[in-house]
């Protein structure tokens, strides 16, 4: 399991080195107990409202990729979208808890370390004003058993090995990072470590899309309060236990050089329709300015990229 603990205590590998090697890293105990309590309270209220059909931005059981219907299917929901949406039907304190978390200096410092890694041979680790606001969603326990097929988030399963290699070149700068922050212990995410950096093997190509025994697969084990950062083009799937509580915040942060591929990844979720109405006035000074800058760069990305379509379909 990749954790930021060191192979050599004098020269611990950087977070970006670990992420480039395995495709994911786990940062234990990012949240304090009091933050965990506050976020669980907000998350529980939003989950109840979403299951009852009072929040239309949901992921419905039975459908893996966006767009999703706006009412829960009879088999329930497995995710809730847009936790930063200005119309989220929650008291201000709960909405603030999600904003505080998404823009928290701890999350953004890790994102900066991953996205602004120094170019080989330089000491320069860039400037923070290239971070872009992206997604802040939540993955929840479905009420009936449900599983996602193996996928990469932004490369179709039908891609040739040549196309996969062109997209997965890890010598190129990283332009996004995705994270899962568990509010309850969570082992639903299954990944093949290292697969973010190579085309699929013949065994992976010919495997059943719902295979429970993909060679090399591991469960990403998160204890409540831990966060996993990962490359969303790692081979992965979700397998959900309807009897086990799950409320895992699911976000991403981008880099301004992310171009059309990142624009599609983010804007296919509909964020462009509401991001300009978000009120970040409740954030602490310093954090607020950074949030405004990240929002501004997302708006610009939307303007420059027009209709982006969807990454995947089923």
Ligand X SMILES: O=C(O)CCC(=O)C(=O)O
Among residues 112, 177, 188, 252, the one that binds ligand X under rule CB under 6 A: 188
Sign of torsion, CA 120 123 128 130?
negative
- Report how far residue 115's alpha carbon sits from residue 223's, in angstroms, rounded to the nearest whole number: 25
Among residues 108, 139, 197, 234, the one that binds ligand X under rule CB under 6 A: 139
Among residues 4, 35, 100, 153, the one that binds ligand X under rule CB under 6 A: 153
Number of residues that bind ligand X (CB under 6 A): 8
Tell me whether residue 187 or residue 292 sits nearer to ligand X (CB atom): 187
Tell me whether residue 139 or residue 199 sits nearer to ligand X (CB atom): 139
Asked whether the beta carbons of 185 and 174 are under 8 A apart, the reply is: no
Helix (H, G, I), strand (E, B) or coil at 279: coil
Q: What's the min distance (Å) between Cβ of 236 and ligand X?
A: 5
Among residues 26, 36, 148, 301, the one that binds ligand X under rule CB under 6 A: 148
Binding positions for ligand X, 201-240, rule CB under 6 A:
236, 238
Pattern 238-267, ligand X, x by CB under 6 A: x-----------------------------
Pattern 19-58, ligand X, x by CB under 6 A: ----------------------------------------
Chain mean position to CA 59: 14
Pattern 162-181, ligand X, x by CB under 6 A: ------------------x-
- DSSP at 157: T
Cβ-based neighbour number of residue 16 at 10 Å: 20
Q: What's the min distance (Å) between Cβ of 153 and ligand X?
A: 5
- 139 to each of 60, 114, 302, how far by Cα in Å? 11, 23, 25
Among residues 189, 191, 224, 266, the one that binds ligand X under rule CB under 6 A: 189
Task: Tell whether omega for the bond before 67 is within 30 degrees of 0, i.e. cis.
Answer: yes
Tokens of 228: 């996993």
Tell me whether residue 57 or residue 236 sits nearer to ligand X (CB atom): 236
Q: How would DSSP label each residue in 56-94?
A: --EEETT--SS---SS-BTTBEEEE--TT-TT-SS-HHH
**Starting at the edge strand that comes first in sequence, how are the strands of the sheet with 58-60 ordered?**
24-27, 227-230, 176-182, 247-255, 131-140, 77-80, 58-60
Tell me whether residue 257 or residue 314 sits nearer to ligand X (CB atom): 314
Tell me whether residue 19 or residue 139 sits nearer to ligand X (CB atom): 139
The contact set with ligand X (CB under 6 A) reads 139, 148, 153, 180, 188-189, 236, 238
């Amino acid at each position: 399991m990749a954790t930021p603990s060191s192979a050599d205590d004098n020269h611990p590998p950087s977070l970006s080195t670990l992420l480039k090697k395995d495709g994911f890293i786990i940062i234990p105990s990012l949240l304090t107990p009091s933050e965990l309590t506050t976020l669980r309270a907000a998350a529980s209220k939003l989950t109840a409202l979403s299951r009852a059909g009072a929040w239309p931005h949901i992921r419905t059981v039975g459908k893996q990729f966006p767009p999703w219907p706006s009412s829960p299917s009879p088999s329930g929901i497995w995710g809730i979208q847009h936790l930063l949406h200005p119309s989220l039907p929650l008291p201000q304190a709960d909405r603030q808890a999600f904003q505080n978390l998404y823009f928290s200096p701890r999350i953004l410092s890790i994102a900066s370390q991953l996205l602004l890694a120094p170019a080989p041979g330089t000491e320069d680790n860039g400037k923070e004003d290239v971070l872009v606001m992206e997604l802040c969603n939540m993955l929840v326990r479905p009420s009936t058993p449900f599983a996602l097929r193996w996928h990469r988030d932004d490369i179709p399963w039908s891609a040739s090995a040549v196309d996969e290699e062109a997209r997965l070149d890890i010598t190129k700068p990283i332009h996004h990072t995705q994270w899962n922050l568990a509010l309850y212990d969570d082992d639903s995410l299954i990944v093949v470590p290292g697969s973010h950096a190579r085309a699929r093997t013949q065994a992976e190509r010919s495997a059943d899309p719902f295979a429970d025994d993909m060679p090399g697969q591991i469960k990403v084990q998160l204890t409540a309060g831990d966060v996993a950062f990962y490359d969303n083009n790692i081979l992965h799937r979700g397998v959900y236990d309807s009897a086990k509580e799950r409320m895992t915040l699911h976000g991403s942060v981008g880099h301004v050089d992310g171009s059309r591929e990142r624009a599609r990844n983010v804007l296919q979720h509909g964020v462009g329709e509401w991001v300009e109405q978000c009120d970040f006035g409740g954030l602490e000074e310093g954090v607020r300015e950074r949030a405004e800058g990240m929002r501004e760069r997302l708006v610009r990305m939307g303007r420059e990229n027009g209709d982006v379509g969807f990454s995947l379909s089923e």
